[in-house]
Structure 1
Amino acid sequence: MPASWSEKEIAGTDWFSSFLKRHSKLSLRTPEATSIASATAFNKTNVSEFFTKLAEVMDRHMFDACSIWNVDETGVVTVVKLKNGVAVTGVKQIGSLTSSGREQLVTLCVAVSASGNTVPRFLVYPRVNLRDHFPTGAPTDSEGTAPLSGWMTKDNFLLFLKNCVQHVKSTKDRPVLILLDNHYSHLSLDALEYAKENGIVMLSFPPHCSHRLQPLDLSVFGPLKRKLSVSQSKWLRNHPGKPVSIYDIAGILCEPWKETLTMSNICSGFQKVGIVPFNRNIFTDEDFMPADVADRPLEAGSVNADSHTVAVPV
């Protein structure tokens, strides 16, 4: 072992490069940031309970792949996320054109079925009122709304549900299942009542588990964001001197939408999480290992033999 390894307490870059060449199955990856809440919530108990409820609902209504939908939102910003580039060694500052210094957010709400179908895109603009010119360049069947915040709200989600019913044709005799997260806008009384009256069965993922259980997060939103970044760069090049505005987002989304919301991508997401085809054992013990950080030993005297309860410190 070279003496420099002992002095610096680290191996050299040449050794690391050779190590990766010797082990072709290994690669240098950037880890995805995961909060403590998400890491601890994704455990065997929560996931098992979700699949139990999913099985009960599917057996009760006999849902097929065409009747199982996943709904979620993602943010689309007007400022392009810059990527790494090749430059001359020693150059300290490298410039790249972006839309503007201050980004604006448009929320995109997406619904996909386990058979690979989608409903028209639904955009939420940060404006007081929706105007006809907002979805410039978007397909004619695109829908939208305009709360001041630009985020999904209870009223806007109700509008989205009504839009979904028009396309999926759900009724009490032909119900559909919608899987979604526990965002407050999804669980309003008005939305739940409308869903019940129009044949929509809603099942939510366990809190902080959508990053591993939601098909859209696993196979659609990632590729969509990467393609969207490329599409925004093309738009800036074809419109020199003009910044991207929220009114251009709908048109910029067209190409990424066609390339990423494909049947193969969508079906792959449902398969990866074990929803369609149903597989409650899709996750292994290794998948639940991050949740072990929540395990804490019981304090002495915390077990009450009379009441059979366990007091766990919070």
Structure 2
Amino acid sequence: MKSGLTPVVGYKPRLVFNEEQETLLSKYILRSASIYFGLLPEEVRQLAYQCAMKFNVHNIPPSWHTNGEAGKDWLTNFLKRNSTLSIRIPEATSAGRASSFNRHNVNQFFEKLGDLITKHNLTPSRIWNLDETGVQTVLNPKKILAEKGTKQVGAIVSTERGTLVTVELAVSALGNSIPPMFVFPRLKYKDLFIRDGPPECIGAGNKSGWMTSTEFLVFMDHFIKHTKPRPEVPVLLLLDNHSSHIDIDVIEKAKKNSVILLSFPPHCTHRLQPLDVGVNGPFKTYCSKAQNNWLRTNPGKIMSIYEIPGIVKYAFPLAVTPINICNAFKKAGIWPYNSNVFTDEDYAPSFVTDRPMPENRLSQGTDNLPVPPNNRERTPQYLDESNYVGSNVEIETSPSILQHVPVQSDCRVDCTSEPSANQEPTPCCSFQLPQSADNNTGDKNTTIFSPELIRPLPKAPPRLNGYNKRLKRMTAVLTDTPEKNALK
């Protein structure tokens, strides 16, 4: 064997960034993904090159200068060295959902929920949640076994586009449920539509097949019949802010029959509503399986909306089980009551729009805050006061701005305190490179390695008064007299 092919024992490849720098870069990438502004692979390669140039990192390959970005082989090896990172396909999330699920809105909901539990001495059998879900005649097929390498695998469905039937579900924290209600897209409803449905289910019809206040009044009678609330034993019903739920006739019927209505904060039901958390998902899965079984036993036939009750009859007892319901209430923190069930990581997507309200801003001592020029090096968003400086807008140095700062054991600064007036803000979770002598002056200077100095995390501008006059819903006890009078 030639000596040139002899493997070198203990050989370690030469790295562009040292271990601590790669750790900081990895934390920044994870932080960007947690606030739903993740970086593309190309953006990570560009950021690596910019960091190497900005912080005078040695061992930069010549190809990086030629292409203006790190190479693909560097990214591949970087992912291998940092096992917490991987290339994933993100799920589309609306900006309203990301911004509304914040600590303030959630705390407001839990405060009202805790007050109601204490005031009325509520037990799990008297805490209910209802929600609508849609069942179509065409659902996405489940995974099947097929030939490996085949580009496309087909599965028979009834039609190209399905017709939707709304199904109203209601469950309690004790694990109980009541028979569902169906809303068909038919102006003339007949009881024979639900002859194959679950026992004691009810139905209604309208032009669209969606739930309206008229159909919801029918469901409220159905709900009161099965839960039997009384003035001395009221029932708490948790529901979203859909227009059919906040109708004045619905609220008056609920109050008259000792049903307390508590609404969730807008765009927060994906985390707070038990049916969304742990019931609707299994329910849709079993509905899809039932549809596949129907198509196999009825080859050549097209599924209509009148088969939907039979599909739900199969899926309902399998999905709406006591263990699924109780686990969903527990995960949402409703029962057992746990107002601290959500962590800082759960609130991370709201970081971008976490801004002080205009009416709460402090005007004292903020008139002379300078606006940094565009070419000035920006400090991390959670320590940069310039993010809150705008034309004729006063700022507030709020502790909520700093609550998103990750406190790390290897930080060189105190991440939980604000910089003093004569102190330059220092990026958190960064470290100082070794002191180096300047080539011309011989003076020593230090450079802080922080990817956020190169690519600051996005932050929404401050809120302004008078630009949005639309009424915004928030969590509220709808059956309280002030809320009911306001709806009138």
> TM range, normalised to the smaller chain?
0.7 to 0.9
| Per-residue deviation, 1:240 | 1.2
Alpha-carbon distance change, 298 to 67 in structure 1, aligned in 2, over 3 angstroms = same
Are 2:362 and 1:271 equivalent residues in the alignment? no
Q: What secondary structure sits across from 1:185 in the alignment?
A: coil
Q: What secondary structure sits across from 1:192 in the alignment?
A: helix
Are 2:289 and 1:230 equivalent residues in the alignment? yes
Mapped partners of 2:171, 2:195: distance in 1: 23
Of 14, 32, 52 in structure 1, the residue corresponding to residue 111 of structure 2 is 52
My pick for the range that moved more, 129-138 or 186-195, is 129-138
| Per-residue deviation, 1:256 | 1.4
**Counterpart mapping for 1:90-109 below 5 A:** 91-109=150-168
Mapped partners of 1:115, 1:34: distance in 2: 32
Of 278, 285, 291 in structure 2, the residue corresponding to residue 219 of structure 1 is 278
TM-score by length of 2: 0.58
For residues 5-50 of structure 1, give each alpha carbon's deviation from its aligned partner in whole angstroms, at most 9, with x where no partner exists: 93577539xx98xx69x97x99997654321100100001000011
Larger gyration radius, structure 1 or structure 2: 2
Letter in 2 for 1:302: V
Q: What secondary structure sits across from 2:300 in the alignment?
A: coil
Letter in 2 for 1:147: N
Which residue does the alignment assign to 1:308? none
Of 463, 469, 478 in structure 2, the residue corresponding to residue 312 of structure 1 is 463
| Per-residue deviation, 1:303 | 2.6
Are 2:244 and 1:185 equivalent residues in the alignment? yes
Preserved contact between residue 229 and residue 257 of structure 2 (Cα < 8 Å): yes
For residues 209-257 of structure 1, give each alpha carbon's deviation from its aligned partner in whole angstroms, at most 9, with x where no partner exists: 1111000001000111111111100011011111111100011112211
Letter in 2 for 1:6: G
Alpha-carbon distance change, 47 to 304 in structure 1, aligned in 2, over 3 angstroms = closer
Are 2:304 and 1:242 equivalent residues in the alignment? no
**Counterpart mapping for 1:125-274 below 5 A:** 125-274=184-333
Q: Which consecutive residues of structure 1, in runs of 5 or more, have no partner in the other structure? A: 306-310
Of 43, 47, 50 in structure 1, the residue corresponding to residue 102 of structure 2 is 43
Preserved contact between residue 136 and residue 248 of structure 1 (Cα < 8 Å): no
Mapped partners of 2:286, 2:99: distance in 1: 32
Mapped partners of 2:247, 2:112: distance in 1: 21
Q: Which consecutive residues of structure 2, in runs of 5 or more, have no partner in the other structure? A: 1-12, 14-60, 62-69, 356-386, 397-461, 468-488
Of 375, 383, 394 in structure 2, the residue corresponding to residue 303 of structure 1 is 394
Preserved contact between residue 107 and residue 152 of structure 1 (Cα < 8 Å): yes
Preserved contact between residue 191 and residue 203 of structure 2 (Cα < 8 Å): no
| Per-residue deviation, 1:283 | 0.7
| Per-residue deviation, 1:120 | 0.5
Letter in 2 for 1:186: H
Alpha-carbon distance change, 32 to 65 in structure 1, aligned in 2, over 3 angstroms = farther
Preserved contact between residue 136 and residue 247 of structure 1 (Cα < 8 Å): no
For residues 158-210 of structure 1, give each alpha carbon's deviation from its aligned partner in whole angstroms, at most 9, with x where no partner exists: 11000000000012222100000000000001000000000100000001111
Alpha-carbon distance change, 53 to 222 in structure 1, aligned in 2, over 3 angstroms = same
Q: What secondary structure sits across from 1:109 in the alignment?
A: strand
Mapped partners of 1:303, 1:7: distance in 2: 45
Which residue does the alignment assign to 2:421? none
RMSD (CA atoms): 2.8
| Per-residue deviation, 1:118 | 0.4
Preserved contact between residue 172 and residue 197 of structure 1 (Cα < 8 Å): no
Preserved contact between residue 178 and residue 223 of structure 2 (Cα < 8 Å): yes
Q: What secondary structure sits across from 1:130 in the alignment?
A: coil
Letter in 2 for 1:223: P
Alpha-carbon distance change, 277 to 91 in structure 1, aligned in 2, over 3 angstroms = closer
Q: What secondary structure sits across from 1:108 in the alignment?
A: strand
My pick for the range that moved more, 289-298 or 100-109, is 289-298
Which residue does the alignment assign to 1:6? 71
Preserved contact between residue 198 and residue 312 of structure 2 (Cα < 8 Å): no
Mapped partners of 2:89, 2:168: distance in 1: 28
Mapped partners of 1:151, 1:197: distance in 2: 26
- Larger RCO (alpha carbons 8 Å, 6+ apart): 1
% same residue: 43
| Per-residue deviation, 1:124 | 0.6
Alpha-carbon distance change, 96 to 194 in structure 1, aligned in 2, over 3 angstroms = same
**Counterpart mapping for 1:85-124 below 5 A:** 85-89=144-148, 91-124=150-183
Letter in 2 for 1:291: S
Letter in 1 for 2:177: T
Mapped partners of 1:97, 1:304: distance in 2: 59
Alpha-carbon distance change, 298 to 232 in structure 1, aligned in 2, over 3 angstroms = same
